[in-house]
A and B are shown apart, each in its own frame.
Chain A
Amino acid sequence: MSIRREEIVRRRLEDLLDELGRERPRATRPDARIPAAEALACFEAGALSRLLDLEARRLKDEGLGFYTIGSAGHEANAVLGRLLRDTDPCLLHYRSGALMAARAARAGGEAFVRDTLLSLCASALDPVSGGRHKVWGSRRLAVPPQTSTIASHLPKAVGLAFAQERRVHLGLDGARPDDAIVVASFGDASVNHASATTAFNAAAWARAQSLPCPVLFVCEDNGLGISVQTPEGWIRKCFETRAGITYFHADGRDLPATWEVARRAVEHCRHTRRPAFLHVDVVRLMGHAGSDVELTYRDERTIERIEAGDPLLAWARWIVACGLATGDELSAAYDRLAARVGRVAAGAPSWPRLATVEDVAAPLRFPAWGELEACARGAAPAARRRLVWGDKLPEDDRPRHLAMQLGRALADLMAQHRELLVFGEDVARKGGVYHVTAGLYEKFGVGRVFNTLLDETMILGTAIGAAQAGFVPVPEVQYLAYLHNAEDQLRGEACSQRFFSAGQWDNPMVVRVAGLAYQKGFGGHFHNDDSLGVLRDVPGLVLALPCRGDDAVGMLRTCVAAAKVGRAVCAFVEPIALYMTRDLHEDGDGGWASAYPAPGEAVPLGEPRLYEAGRRGRVLVVTYGNGVPMALRARRLAGDLAEQDVAVLDLRWLAPLPVEAFLALARRAEEVVLLDECRRTGGGPSETLATALALDPEARGRRLTRITAADSYVPLGPAADLVLPQVDGVRAALERALSELVDEEGGA
């Protein structure tokens, strides 16, 4: 029994083609279910995909290729490559070689063989990812690349289907025909992923609400998830009678039947604008990937039985039996493709790879302020603003708290950008839990301000889809703690999109997240979560964290510009405890309310705010969020000397983190206090800043105090104060620092 099955699988097909070539040509008996040329094109696409799978393994053996998860046995998806239009976006599973081959051939003008081989070899010339990953993708063919390994592409597929329809509904120009559908493919094991179940649920939920959502789910059922068997009949049982999603089933070895069923599924989705589920039986040949030894979990007889079910064998027999082509003609086509793959692959040793970190990370760069400024400082025409505000422009109003100014900024931005959408849990009529979105629904209507189902994964999936449909989505996640079950939609999907597509695809958005601790009325972890680390380590994600109304307005304008013009994904974290804070030092002082910045004002990306010391700034407090008013209060409480000698730096942006601005100030200070309301380990930015300080030749040696939250969840009630930085602790640190400075002065 051979461990490597590729030669056996190859030989079985080649032997069959030889055998069929010896048969007498048959009279043509076309099958009414599939046009003859389409059947032959499917065979060609399947054969090409198979040959590329085999070549991938050879290239791996040669040390030239790096990816061997193949499409062998899944070639039935070629029918979709022929049936769908190239304006129907396809979010594809990694076993979609035949679908892509068929789609590329149908559209024409694609260098599919070379592009696939470049991708397998992680060459910088790969036109899809630029050598960053093996992905199926093409701008021209409306295939946004992604890795699809954990079904995390399904929420955005639903989001895209929903948003395309919304675009039509809002009368916005679309890049695609009004009757385009969205296709998302996946394996049977992926159906169990949380991100898949949430997508099915959302599609059915949309149907239940009579919202159009033309998404075609394509489940390629090979009965295995790596080595774990899917229970017999599981997919059918789960989906055949599922409310809201129409089920279609085909055996992928039966080419005309698969074509006919797939055609009906596509038409159903296109014409009814409702979700459909196409379940195709396939087999998996040659293991999960090149490194997978199937014999460790399957016996030889099973492997051979499955190999005998190779769809290309069944298709070839059927084509010849119907007289659509002779065995010789199939052989000739196969040989031509094999030779072509070999000729193209012969160039592999000279294909360049990514050579520097800068090259690898280039698609992740933050946009430069110069690119964004005009947009960030733009405004809706005065007449349109008047429709929104009447005669009472917000900039003429008295200073207000953060929540109100944020809501006003959103309204102005919605007036300025027609493609801006606001959605999330409770954001519409209710106006959000903290009233930030109050009034937007009334001003801009349900088409642009709408409630979603209670599912953060789908909120972000909808945002990705909406962004890919041309919107600038501003979704709201109600609490930071609720983000975590959905976080991969940002990390694995939204922020990776530019990386995996060498910047050719993006999904710009501004995700508003209410978060952080110190809420007086609503305690406990879930409403006071301070886990910013989860956002800080997502490559390329802009992370804004304003602490006062005027900053928030300017930063939100910049974030929307970063999304719209800079194509960035932005997280905008709003400290809940500061939403309604008006006073700073004493009740009624209004010290934390601020005037609404008139349109035209914006905060440059990555620029911090400095609250200067009265005289010298020998002590520098570096903080953000709730830490800013806390530090200012502590400075006041520490007395005149502190007012004179303590400067407070509000970072405002945690990504891009203003490290240079911080170091420039730290070099002039004698003591640095890092006040970080997040956890001591892996939380806020203070670890990074402490490291930067320690490594900076000019700032090294400065005294450093780090005040952080404990490595704990935030408990309910007064115990919360035990784990979170408090004003008294900051005051004590300042007093100690100042006394040491005075002592030193005295000593000198």
Chain B
Amino acid sequence: MSFRLVLAPGRGSYAKGELGSLRRLAEAAGSDGKGLLATLEAMRRELDPDLPSLAELDGAKAFKPSLHLPGRNASPLIFACGLLHAEALRAEGRGPDLVGGNSLGFYTALVLAGALEPEQGYRLVSTMARLQEQGPAGGQVLWTLLDDDWNVVPGRAELVQELCALPDLDLSIRLGGHVVLAGTEEALATALERLPEVKVGERSFPFRLPFHGPFHTPLLLPVAQAALDELADLPLGRPRIPLLDGRGAEWSPLSTDPVSLLAYTLGAQVTRTFDFTRMVEVALSDFAPDEVVLLEPGTSLRAPVGHVERWLASPPTGSTAG
């Protein structure tokens, strides 16, 4: 029997090339997919009546950063694509046995694990997007520890650590061979000055992630506080399959305490480094899946997961701590 790891992507995974993904995935997911999409759209109408529907966003003639990238549109769209992709797999008999996700993808994973119903998942995603938009200014910068051949460049992790010692700048996400730094505008400006420009393949680093806030840093404490107020009644339950979080910790179907899971989801998950690298390390090495599925939209997880796979086969000599 094949054991399947399913990982959901985070913000930034729905870009120009992903237009139409939602419709395609909903079709692939058959009637259950269509039902699921209808449920999510209904939730969107209820909770975000002033915003375009998911189908409208996905069906837009052109990708508009000012439309598609702000959190209140991007997050629900990415969340919906992930759920529909997973539903399409389930329809083929390829449901998940272990789930995780990067950042926003963790909310998707909560639903895929069965700890949260899709409607309530939408509520979580939409609320967090709104609170973040209303939250403190700042953003995220993507940087890499790697050279063109995916070797860890000596000194890069140390530089990141040095920068993270600056006020209001923190390691937001460990993303395989990449890292995401987040902080206030001022702190980011300093970081961008100090990080040398490099290229890996076609991609240039450092890269300011547009419309992203200072996610997974203590700057989001007010957001976490507001989320606890608004979402205290979020009906989280025990997951039905093991779920991995942004520390690489497992929430097991047997022993999960839903109160602790809620506290983590709205607390440390929001304000502390999201360690996707460790999540993948644990998933691959300690669960030994037969199959790994990276959910759509897009292919943003392919490289980070590839980095970790390679490190597990042949551990890097330099620091990857970031």
Binding site for B on A (CB under 8 A): 35-38, 40-41, 43-44, 105, 107-114, 325, 329-330, 332-333, 336, 339-340, 343-344, 346-347
Interface membership of chain B positions 225-267, coded 1 if the CB is closer than 8 angstroms to chain A and 0 otherwise: 0000000000000000010010111101111110010000000
* Pairwise interchain contact B281-A336, C-beta atoms closer than 8 A: no
Chain A residue nearest to B259 in the complex (CB): A37
Q: Which 9 A-B pairs have the closest CB atoms?
A: A108-B249, A109-B248, A37-B257, A40-B255, A343-B288, A333-B254, A111-B286, A41-B255, A108-B247
Task: Give CA–CA (A439, B285) in the complex, Å.
Answer: 57
* Pairwise interchain contact B287-A343, C-beta atoms closer than 8 A: yes
What are the residues of chain A within 8 A of B3 when measuring CB–CB? 339, 343
* Pairwise interchain contact A108-B248, C-beta atoms closer than 8 A: yes
What are the residues of chain B within 8 A of A344 when measuring CB–CB? 285-288
A348 → chain B closest CB, angstroms: 11
* Pairwise interchain contact A110-B252, C-beta atoms closer than 8 A: no
B257 → chain A closest CB, angstroms: 3
Interface centre among A38, A110, A332, A346 (most CB of B within 10 A): A110
What are the residues of chain A within 8 A of B281 when measuring CB–CB? 111
* Pairwise interchain contact B252-A44, C-beta atoms closer than 8 A: yes
What are the residues of chain A within 8 A of B256 when measuring CB–CB? 37
- Which residues 1-20 of B sit at the A interface, judged by CB distance below 8 A? 1, 3
Chain A residue nearest to B3 in the complex (CB): A343
Interface membership of chain B positions 284-305, coded 1 if the CB is closer than 8 angstroms to chain A and 0 otherwise: 0111111000000000000000
Known contacts: A35-B257, A37-B257, A114-B286. The answer to whether A109 contacts B242 by CB under 8 A is: no
* Pairwise interchain contact B287-A330, C-beta atoms closer than 8 A: no
Beyond A43-B255, A109-B247, A111-B285, list 10 extra A-B contacts (CB 8 Å).
A37-B255, A44-B254, A105-B250, A108-B245, A109-B278, A109-B282, A111-B281, A113-B286, A336-B253, A343-B290
Chain A residue nearest to B254 in the complex (CB): A333
Residue in contact with B275 in the complex, picked from A109, A111, A343, CB distance below 8 Å: A109
Interface membership of chain B positions 266-282, coded 1 if the CB is closer than 8 angstroms to chain A and 0 otherwise: 00000000010011011
Residue in contact with B282 in the complex, picked from A35, A110, A325, CB distance below 8 Å: A110
Sample (20) of A-B pairs whose CB atoms are under 8 Å apart: A35-B257, A37-B257, A37-B260, A40-B254, A44-B254, A105-B252, A108-B245, A108-B247, A108-B250, A109-B275, A109-B279, A111-B286, A113-B286, A325-B254, A329-B253, A340-B286, A344-B286, A344-B288, A346-B288, A347-B288
Task: Give CA–CA (A37, B254) in the complex, Å.
Answer: 8
* Pairwise interchain contact A107-B288, C-beta atoms closer than 8 A: no
What are the residues of chain A within 8 A of B289 when measuring CB–CB? 343
What are the residues of chain B within 8 A of A113 when measuring CB–CB? 286
Known contacts: A108-B248, A109-B247, A343-B290. The answer to whether A332 contacts B254 by CB under 8 A is: yes
Task: Give CA–CA (A110, B256) in the complex, Å.
Answer: 17
* Pairwise interchain contact A43-B247, C-beta atoms closer than 8 A: no
* Pairwise interchain contact A107-B257, C-beta atoms closer than 8 A: no
Task: Give CA–CA (A513, B200) in the complex, Å.
Answer: 58
What are the residues of chain B within 8 A of A114 when measuring CB–CB? 285-286, 288
* Pairwise interchain contact B254-A43, C-beta atoms closer than 8 A: yes
Chain A residue nearest to B249 in the complex (CB): A108
Chain B residue nearest to A330 in the complex (CB): B254
* Pairwise interchain contact A333-B253, C-beta atoms closer than 8 A: yes
What are the residues of chain A within 8 A of B285 when measuring CB–CB? 111, 114, 344
A344 → chain B closest CB, angstroms: 5
What are the residues of chain A within 8 A of B255 when measuring CB–CB? 37-38, 40-41, 43-44, 333
Chain B residue nearest to A40 in the complex (CB): B255
A661 → chain B closest CB, angstroms: 33
Task: Give CA–CA (A40, B257) in the complex, Å.
Answer: 10
* Pairwise interchain contact B253-A332, C-beta atoms closer than 8 A: yes
What are the residues of chain B within 8 A of A110 when measuring CB–CB? 248, 282, 286
Task: Give CA–CA (A314, B219) in the complex, Å.
Answer: 47
What are the residues of chain B within 8 A of A111 when measuring CB–CB? 281-282, 285-286
B27 → chain A closest CB, angstroms: 33
Task: Give CA–CA (A336, B3) in the complex, Å.
Answer: 10
* Pairwise interchain contact A112-B248, C-beta atoms closer than 8 A: no
Interface centre among B1, B254, B282, B285 (most CB of A within 10 A): B254
What are the residues of chain B within 8 A of A44 when measuring CB–CB? 252, 254-255
Task: Give CA–CA (A646, B290) in the complex, Å.
Answer: 74
Chain A residue nearest to B287 in the complex (CB): A340
Task: Give CA–CA (A108, B286) in the complex, Å.
Answer: 12
Task: Give CA–CA (A109, B174) in the complex, Å.
Answer: 13
* Pairwise interchain contact A333-B252, C-beta atoms closer than 8 A: yes
Task: Give CA–CA (A40, B252) in the complex, Å.
Answer: 10
Task: Give CA–CA (A36, B260) in the complex, Å.
Answer: 12
What are the residues of chain B within 8 A of A346 when measuring CB–CB? 288
What are the residues of chain B within 8 A of A107 when measuring CB–CB? 249
A58 → chain B closest CB, angstroms: 16
Task: Give CA–CA (A44, B242) in the complex, Å.
Answer: 13
Task: Give CA–CA (A339, B281) in the complex, Å.
Answer: 19
Interface centre among A36, A38, A44, A336 (most CB of B within 10 A): A336
* Pairwise interchain contact A329-B287, C-beta atoms closer than 8 A: no
What are the residues of chain A within 8 A of B288 when measuring CB–CB? 114, 340, 343-344, 346-347
Interface centre among A108, A333, A339 (most CB of B within 10 A): A108
Task: Give CA–CA (A1, B201) in the complex, Å.
Answer: 66
Task: Give CA–CA (A333, B242) in the complex, Å.
Answer: 10
What are the residues of chain A within 8 A of B245 when measuring CB–CB? 108
Task: Give CA–CA (A273, B7) in the complex, Å.
Answer: 46
B321 → chain A closest CB, angstroms: 12
What are the residues of chain B within 8 A of A339 when measuring CB–CB? 1, 3
Interface membership of chain B positions 100-138, coded 1 if the CB is closer than 8 angstroms to chain A and 0 otherwise: 000000000000000000000000000000000000000
Task: Give CA–CA (A565, B249) in the complex, Å.
Answer: 35
Task: Give CA–CA (A314, B250) in the complex, Å.
Answer: 25
B269 → chain A closest CB, angstroms: 12
B200 → chain A closest CB, angstroms: 26
What are the residues of chain B within 8 A of A37 when measuring CB–CB? 255-257, 260
What are the residues of chain B within 8 A of A36 when measuring CB–CB? 257
